[in-house]
């Protein structure tokens, strides 16, 4: 694992504010009273057993999931049912998925320039230059003309990160970005995420990579059955977990 990025003082500007968010799938109560405040530049790792609602929680932030109670504000704009408002917020929130979700009918470069051209209305040339810069940053500029189907999983995930960065988001959400990858490829994706962290990006990352959490996160959040059970700095979280549930989870994930 690379060196921990130098701690930067967090600004007191709030990027994400979740207040009493509840969500039901039919009768099933998936999210129970989620309260979370994320400062600008803060890096948060969310962990927990599968089905604990951690993915659902971060997918509420860019409204890929609806919620029935509570309020969420992103960079001061409150999420509403207004489609235009949702689209405005989504422009500022990049998301990286477990299964990459690259557009298979477009080349890597086109994947990266599509949203800047059609949503941000950038001229094609400018969008392509920016895309190449980001592809260089994730270290695969030479793959720009290939189709996603021709790349390895790790490369695809790095393209997905570059695609999100091309929109110049203020926040990046990672939804288990390494869970679908072979062990050999996890490292390259995590390294990309660490460089992103070094640049001061506001990040929320759902992951089971506890090494990543230890080195990069300002705060680790543990969720179970739709609730935030515990949140703390990584040092405290890993050495002195407060609840029994957290202790059980950590013992399972660290000694398997």
Partner 1 sequence: MADTHIPHPDLPPPVSIVGPIGWLRRHLLSSPLNIALTLLALCLLYIAIPPLLGWTVLNATWSGDSRDACQANSGACWVFIRVHFDQFMYGFYPDGQRWRVDLTALLLIFSAAPLFIRTVSSQTKLRIGLSILAIYPIIAFILLTGGWFGLAIVETSQWGGLLLTLVIAGVGMTAALPLGVLLALGRRSRLPAIQTLCVTFIEFWRGVPLITVLFMSSVMLPLFLPAGMSFDKLLRALIGVSLFQAAYMAEVVRGGLQAIPKGQFEAAAALGLGFWKMMGLIVLPQALKLVIPGIVNTFIALFKDTSLVLIIGLFDLLNMVHNATTNPAWLGFSTEGYVFAAAVYWLFCFGMSRYSQSLEKRLHTGHKR
Q: Which C-beta is closer to partner 1: that of 105 or that of 240?
A: 105
The yes or no reply on residue 123 touching partner 1 (CB under 8 A) is no
User: Can you tell me whether residue 227 is helix, strand or coil?
Assistant: strand
Rounded CA-CA distance 14/41 in Å is 10
Q: Select the span of 1-9, 36-44, 115-123, 214-222 touching partner 1 (CB under 8 A).
A: 115-123
Among the listed residues 99, 196, 78, the one whose alpha carbon sits nearest the alpha carbon of residue 138 = 196
Residue 148 as a binder of partner 1 (CB under 8 A): the answer is yes
Q: Are 213 and 47 in contact (CB under 8 A)?
A: yes
Torsion, Cα 27 61 17 66, to 10 degrees, reads -30
Comparison of 164 and 192: residue with beta carbon closer to partner 1: 164
Single residue of 66, 78, 82, 87 touching partner 1 by CB under 8 A? 87
Using CA atoms, how far residue 171 sits from 55, 66, 185, in Å, is 16, 19, 24
Strands laid side by side in the 14-25 sheet: 28-39, 14-25, 69-74, 77-78
Question: Which helix (H) or strand (E) is 188 found in, with range?
Answer: helix 183-198
Q: Single out the segment in contact with partner 1 by CB under 8 A; choices: 111-119, 125-133, 233-241, 243-251.
A: 111-119
Contact (Cβ atoms closer than 8 angstroms) between residue 91 and residue 168? no
Q: Does 115 bind partner 1 (CB under 8 A)?
A: yes
For 142, 194, 233, the CA distances from 236, given in Å and listed in that order, are: 42, 21, 5
Q: Which stretch binds partner 1 (CB under 8 A): 80-88, 126-134, 193-201, 218-226?
A: 80-88
- The reply to whether 150 sits near partner 1 by the rule CB under 8 A is yes
**Is the CB of 117 or the CB of 194 nearer to partner 1?**
117
- Residue 34: closest CA among 198, 197, 192, 226: 226
Region of 28-36, 110-118, 198-206, 213-221 interacting with partner 1 (CB under 8 A) = 110-118
Which of 8, 69, 71, 99 binds partner 1 (CB under 8 A)? It is 99
Work out how close the CB of 30 gets to partner 1 at its nearest, in angstroms, rounded to a whole number: 17
What is the binding site for partner 1 (CB under 8 A)? Answer: 62, 64, 83, 87-88, 90-91, 93-95, 97, 99, 101-105, 114-115, 118-119, 147-150, 160, 163-164, 167
């Amino acid at each position: 694992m690379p060196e921990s990025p130098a701690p930067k003082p967090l600004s007191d500007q709030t990027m994400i504010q979740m207040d009493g968010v509840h969500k039901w799938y039919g009768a099933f109560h998936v999210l129970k009273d989620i309260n979370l405040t994320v400062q600008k530049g803060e890096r948060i790792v969310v962990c927990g057993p599968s089905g604990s609602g951690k993915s659902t929680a971060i997918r509420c932030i860019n409204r890929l999931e609806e919620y029935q109670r509570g309020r969420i504000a992103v960079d001061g704009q409150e999420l509403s049912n207004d489609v235009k408002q949702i689209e405005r917020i989504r422009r500022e929130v990049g998301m990286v998925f477990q299964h990459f979700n690259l557009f298979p009918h477009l080349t890597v470069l086109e994947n990266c320039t599509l949203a800047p051209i059609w949503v941000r209305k950038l001229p094609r040339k400018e969008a392509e230059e920016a895309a190449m810069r980001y592809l260089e940053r994730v270290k695969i500029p030479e793959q720009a003309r290939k189709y996603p189907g021709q790349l390895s999983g790790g490369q695809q995930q790095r393209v997905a990160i570059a695609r999100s960065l091309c929109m110049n988001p203020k926040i990046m959400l990672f939804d288990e970005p390494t869970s679908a990858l072979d062990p050999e490829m996890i490292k390259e994706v995590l390294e990309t995420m660490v460089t992103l962290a070094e640049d001061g990006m506001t990040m929320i990352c759902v992951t089971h990579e506890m090494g990543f959490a230890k080195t990069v996160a300002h705060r680790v959040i543990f969720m179970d059955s739709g609730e935030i059970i515990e949140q703390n700095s990584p040092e405290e979280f890993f050495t002195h977990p407060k609840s029994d549930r957290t202790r059980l989870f950590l013992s399972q994930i660290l000694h398997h």
